[in-house]
Amino acid sequence: MQMDIKCPRCQANLELEKHKGIDVDRCPECKGMWLDHHELGHLEDTVVETGFAKGTMWMRSFGSDLACPRCAEHMNWFRYRRFDLEIDHCPQEHGFWLDAGEERRVLEIMEERKSDLKRSKSAQEDWDKFLSSMGNTSFMDKIKRMFGGRR
């Protein structure tokens, strides 16, 4: 049995619900969502494959006015993956607070990151093919040939 936890925004009792196959605590009033520490990674995994290199989630965090619904300590906020999305988190690693709609933004960011990495991988593969087609010439000779210079 889960103990009642309060919304850090409006103090309503959070209600347990399934979201994308994950048990999350949702506020019926403000529609915010509490994700236990591991659940944010599970939410991201609904968009990307297991083993996907997600990169650093945050570099620096700042003090927040919100209290953790698990331990009541002040949370911190950070810019999620360096995007303009501020997410609150418990410094004791109890979890993350997402305001209404922020879970959609997390998924959009992961979709964008996945697309960017696929483009980057494709560009790297094209570059590798190009270099292979140049034979055993030196790097400078390859550059000169690429820009129409003589060998």
Q: Which amino acid is at 144?
A: K
- Say yes or no to pLDDT of 59 above 60: yes
Tokens 């002040």 correspond to what residue?
Answer: 74
**Which residues touch 124 (CB under 8 Å, ≥6 apart)?**
none
Is this model's pTM higher than 0.75 or not?
no
Q: How far is the C-alpha of 49 from the C-alpha of 119, rounded, in Å?
A: 16
Tokens 């915010």 correspond to what residue?
Answer: 32
Q: Where are the alpha helices (DSSP H) in 46-135?
A: 102-133
* Tens digits of residue pLDDT in 93-144: 999 999 999 999 999 988 888 776 665 555 565 566 666 666 656 666 767 7
Q: What is the pLDDT of residue 150?
A: 54
- Tell me the average pLDDT of the chain: 84
**Which residues touch 100 (CB under 8 Å, ≥6 apart)?**
30, 31, 32, 33
